[in-house]
A and B are shown apart, each in its own frame.
Chain A
Amino acid sequence: MYKLFLCLRYLRRRRIAFFSVAAVCLCTAMVLIVVSVMNGFLQMVRDRSRGMLGDLIMENQSLQGFPYYQDFIDQVKHDPELGQRIYEATPLIISYGVIRFPSDQITKPAQVLGIRFDETCRVNDFGKGLFYEKYYPGTTTLKPQKEPRLGRDEKGQYVLPTYLEAARSRWEKSAPPDEIAKAWRSKAVPYAGPGAYLPLPDAYAPSGVDTTGLEPVAPAYDGPELPGAIIGTDMVAKRLPTGEYEREYYSRGSTITLTFVPFTDTGKPLESGTGMPSKVFRYADDCRTGVYDIDSMSVYVDFDLLQDVLNMKEDKYTGEQGGGVIPARTTQVQIKLNAGYDPRATRDLLQKQWDEFFMSRIHSVRTPDLLRRVEIRTWEEKQAKYIAAVEKEKYLVTTLFGVISVVAVFLVVCIFYMIVQQKTRDIGIIKSVGATALGVAQIFLAYGAAVGIVGGGIGTIIAVYFVKYINEFQHGLERLGRVFHMDLQVWNPEVYAFDRIPNQVQVWDAVIIYAVAVLMAVAGSVIAAVKAARIWPVEALRYE
């Protein structure tokens, strides 16, 4: 009983022990924060990779792409074995171009992706990142469309076209109240619902002008029908320090011009004679994957349209040995598997099937390498280099901070040694009333454990809260930096690819780091415990 009693009493009354507690606390918090952020970063890389790519990716890593993709998709979908494994497969064209926003004459490089909208939403998480589709479900399309323009009711309030208003009502019926409140807090002006829309000229009212009593203006779909484009959120919206986006510069339905760089099936730039093809699109929606590199330069357009513009549709060629057909091409096929099927095993089956498939077609194309080089990889394999680099970074940083934390052990050693030196007489007293050497050692080991339990516990709580609010801390630092004209931004989304710092603490990370903190504190008390156990009571009590 005395061991527990004295160790708790020493913990409370020996102020010097607070330094041990503080050291253990800070080291625990430091390691847990680092591990959580790095683990979170790795998890985000993995989640986003899978979210963007589906389970399996089929590509030959060329800009010309590969032919017969649709035949192969149809074949495997009807295959008795593969058919039940595959949930959805969709072709995707990845190319590069230039985007121009006519409203402010800004031109930027862009990665232009041709997608089949519905299929892509089924294969990966693309659909989850759409802004307008979230608040106006069912209204985002890549098909030709006009610009939705706001009208004004008899009360002077802006109103959406009926179709959009109905969609918004549908969303409001199913959305949680806090999300609705958040949507209404949006700063988009003029405002008739989440996101930005332009009012019709007749409906426009400058702020401050009383519009009550004026003739209502019916909302409308305005302008010519243009194909839709989904634009990376960071290209069209301004990211606020809170992590939310403000859509003030570009309204839904505004136009953009894309300029494309087409290649022939042999990889030569296509000479159209009229320069690089350009096309005007309407901003149908914006998409946020959470990966800054993607969100700041990707534009998604209709697959068939892009295939056409890039001259990747079925075509004919003529040559010295006669002509032939160039089959339609895609640069990638993404495949989503049904739940429970192993991507690696399915990849092997698909690759085998593809190898047989392309051998049967290889003589009918003039560029057989495009078929031969098609590889099927899992999302993990495709991102392996990136994931491995992040994993290595995680181990490196964790090890470095772990080593730094060993300082806490030495601090515990020093402080406990000092305590034993100061407490020599007390140890003699306790031994004189019958305490054993082991019992005295256990007091200091328990004392060490108590320091670890308290320090580690406080450190864990600090780390959990710090990680939870790490983005808010970052924004606070940023704001503080602005006040003092200093750059205190710690997490730059352009550098770290993700726009937010991971803020999840894994329970097992916390448990393991806490346990290690307690063990290390106990280890730090061992020398002091041995010294205390060896104290000879007669010597300790001889003098005052």
Chain B
Amino acid sequence: MSDVILQAAGLHKSYVMGRTTLDVLKGVSLGVHRGEFVAIMGSSGCGKSTLLHLLGALDVPDRGTVKFDGTDVFGGSNAQRDRLRNRTFGFVFQFYHLLPELNVLENTLIPCMVGHSVAGWLGRRADLRRHATDLLGRLGLGDRLRHRPNELSGGERQRVAIARALANRPQVLLADEPTGNLDAATGCEIMGVLTELNRAGQTVVMVTHDPQVAASAHRIVTLSDGRIRNPKA
């Protein structure tokens, strides 16, 4: 855990809600080291998810910078940010967000399809499918490859979402309340998966409001009133 892989500095983000402007982030700075497991905590609506979206180039800050491996994420074009989301970051959402028309394997392969042209896909199809199948096998979904999301339990859906996030071997896994929609036992199971991945070297940034879930992380940062209260924690 020596080098900083992700560095946010002075992030500001506000939303216009009708006639009022809601300042969600008021100058957030945060560094994430390679291989680190960081949990971002805070009360509902404090801006945890917004910070995660900015760290993963899913949203654009009003002010401030996010650097990945020293390169400004928002300094480049939209296409570069799209590429980062595809290759470098992997997202896991609270509500799984799987595509209902696709089966487990196809959902997992979607980032690979996004990252390849038709010709490129046809050339690497077998490798990519093998990788996705391995991933799903490791996550205990080896016998569920052809099932659609509506045929899976909540825990299984979240594991598919994790598999999808890992499909392109991202350098940073960003999880937004990954256990928020699950019962305690299943949430534990999912945290086990994330911890295991982190042990294997995967950098993980997780948003949660549950201290028990956050306890799995190396470091917990608390967000309150748009600022980080314990940046060194």
- Minimum CB–CB distance from B115 to chain A (whole Å) comes to 6
Evaluate whether A436 and B101 lie within 8 angstroms (CB atoms) in the complex, with A1-B116, A2-B110 already known. Answer: no
Chain A residues positioned under 8 Å from B100 (CB to CB)? 426
- CB distance A425 to B97 under 8 Å? yes
- CB distance A433 to B111 under 8 Å? yes
Partner of B82, one of A428, A429, A436, A542: A436
- Minimum CB–CB distance from A157 to chain B (whole Å) comes to 72
- Minimum CB–CB distance from A37 to chain B (whole Å) comes to 41
- Minimum CB–CB distance from A431 to chain B (whole Å) comes to 8
Chain A residues positioned under 8 Å from B78 (CB to CB)? 436-437
Question: Is residue B95 within 8 Å, beta carbon to beta carbon, of the partner chain?
Answer: yes
How many Å lie between the Cα of A147 and that of B106 in the bound state? 83
Question: Is residue A541 within 8 Å, beta carbon to beta carbon, of the partner chain?
Answer: yes
Chain A CB within 10 A, most for which of B53, B83, B99, B114:
B114
Chain A CB within 10 A, most for which of B78, B100, B113, B117:
B113
In the complex, residue of chain A having the shortest beta-carbon distance to the beta carbon of B85: A434
Chain A residues positioned under 8 Å from B97 (CB to CB)? 425, 428-429, 432, 541
Question: Is residue A544 within 8 Å, beta carbon to beta carbon, of the partner chain?
Answer: yes
Question: Is residue A187 within 8 Å, beta carbon to beta carbon, of the partner chain?
Answer: no
Chain B CB within 10 A, most for which of A1, A429, A435, A544:
A1
- CB distance A544 to B120 under 8 Å? no
Question: Is residue B37 within 8 Å, beta carbon to beta carbon, of the partner chain?
Answer: no
How many Å lie between the Cα of A538 and that of B106 in the bound state? 23
- Minimum CB–CB distance from B110 to chain A (whole Å) comes to 6
In the complex, residue of chain A having the shortest beta-carbon distance to the beta carbon of B117: A1
How many Å lie between the Cα of A436 and that of B115 in the bound state? 10
In the complex, residue of chain A having the shortest beta-carbon distance to the beta carbon of B93: A541
Evaluate whether A538 and B110 lie within 8 angstroms (CB atoms) in the complex, with A4-B118, A436-B78 already known. Answer: no
- Minimum CB–CB distance from B211 to chain A (whole Å) comes to 24
- CB distance A9 to B101 under 8 Å? yes
Chain A 390-406 interface 0/1 with B at a Cβ cutoff of 8 Å (1 = within)? 00000000000000000
How many Å lie between the Cα of A434 and that of B98 in the bound state? 15
- Minimum CB–CB distance from B1 to chain A (whole Å) comes to 27
- CB distance A432 to B101 under 8 Å? no
Chain B 86-130 interface 0/1 with A at a Cβ cutoff of 8 Å (1 = within)? 110001010101111110001000110111111011000000000
- CB distance A538 to B59 under 8 Å? yes
- Minimum CB–CB distance from B2 to chain A (whole Å) comes to 28
Chain A residues positioned under 8 Å from B84 (CB to CB)? 434
Question: Is residue B139 within 8 Å, beta carbon to beta carbon, of the partner chain?
Answer: no
Chain B residues positioned under 8 Å from A1 (CB to CB)? 113-114, 116-118, 120-121
- Minimum CB–CB distance from A441 to chain B (whole Å) comes to 13
- Minimum CB–CB distance from A509 to chain B (whole Å) comes to 32
Partner of B114, one of A437, A439, A536: A439
In the complex, residue of chain B having the shortest beta-carbon distance to the beta carbon of A536: B59
- CB distance A2 to B99 under 8 Å? no
Interface residues of B in 39-62 (CB under 8 A from A): 49, 53, 58-59
In the complex, residue of chain B having the shortest beta-carbon distance to the beta carbon of A437: B78
Q: How many contacts between A and B, using CB within 8 angstroms?
A: 73
- CB distance B86 to A433 under 8 Å? yes
Question: Is residue A317 within 8 Å, beta carbon to beta carbon, of the partner chain?
Answer: no
Interface residue tally on B, bucketed by range: 20 to 34
- Minimum CB–CB distance from B166 to chain A (whole Å) comes to 12
Question: Is residue A13 within 8 Å, beta carbon to beta carbon, of the partner chain?
Answer: yes
- CB distance A2 to B113 under 8 Å? yes
- Minimum CB–CB distance from A154 to chain B (whole Å) comes to 79
Question: Is residue A508 within 8 Å, beta carbon to beta carbon, of the partner chain?
Answer: no
Question: Is residue B79 within 8 Å, beta carbon to beta carbon, of the partner chain?
Answer: yes
- CB distance B101 to A10 under 8 Å? yes
Partner of A435, one of B82, B98, B121: B82
Question: Is residue B12 within 8 Å, beta carbon to beta carbon, of the partner chain?
Answer: no
- CB distance B95 to A544 under 8 Å? yes
- CB distance B114 to A433 under 8 Å? yes
- CB distance A433 to B53 under 8 Å? no
Question: Is residue A484 within 8 Å, beta carbon to beta carbon, of the partner chain?
Answer: no
Evaluate whether A434 and B87 lie within 8 angstroms (CB atoms) in the complex, with A9-B102, A537-B58, A541-B93 already known. Answer: yes
Chain B CB within 10 A, most for which of A428, A431, A434, A436:
A434
- CB distance A432 to B110 under 8 Å? no
Question: Is residue B26 within 8 Å, beta carbon to beta carbon, of the partner chain?
Answer: no
Chain A residues positioned under 8 Å from B98 (CB to CB)? 429
Question: Is residue B164 within 8 Å, beta carbon to beta carbon, of the partner chain?
Answer: yes
Chain A residues positioned under 8 Å from B113 (CB to CB)? 1-2, 5
How many Å lie between the Cα of A428 and that of B59 in the bound state? 12
How many Å lie between the Cα of A2 and that of B181 in the bound state? 28
Evaluate whether A430 and B101 lie within 8 angstroms (CB atoms) in the complex, with A1-B120, A435-B82, A544-B95 already known. Answer: no
In the complex, residue of chain B having the shortest beta-carbon distance to the beta carbon of A544: B95
- Minimum CB–CB distance from B67 to chain A (whole Å) comes to 19
Chain B residues positioned under 8 Å from A428 (CB to CB)? 97
Chain B residues positioned under 8 Å from A536 (CB to CB)? 59
Partner of B110, one of A433, A439, A543: A433
How many Å lie between the Cα of A437 and that of B82 in the bound state? 9
Partner of A432, one of B49, B58, B106: B58
- CB distance A429 to B101 under 8 Å? no
- CB distance A434 to B83 under 8 Å? yes
- CB distance B114 to A430 under 8 Å? yes
How many Å lie between the Cα of A9 and that of B148 in the bound state? 13
What are 19 A-B residue pairs whose CB atoms fall within 8 Å in the complex?
A1-B121, A2-B110, A2-B113, A5-B113, A9-B102, A13-B101, A14-B101, A429-B97, A429-B98, A429-B99, A432-B85, A433-B86, A433-B110, A433-B111, A433-B114, A433-B164, A434-B87, A439-B114, A537-B58
Residues of A within 8 A of B (CB): 1-2, 4-5, 9-10, 13-14, 425-426, 428-437, 439, 536-538, 541-544
- Extra A-B contacts (19), CB below 8 Å, given A434-B114, A543-B95: A1-B117, A2-B110, A2-B113, A2-B114, A9-B102, A10-B101, A426-B99, A430-B99, A430-B114, A432-B93, A433-B85, A434-B111, A434-B115, A435-B82, A536-B59, A538-B53, A538-B58, A541-B93, A542-B49
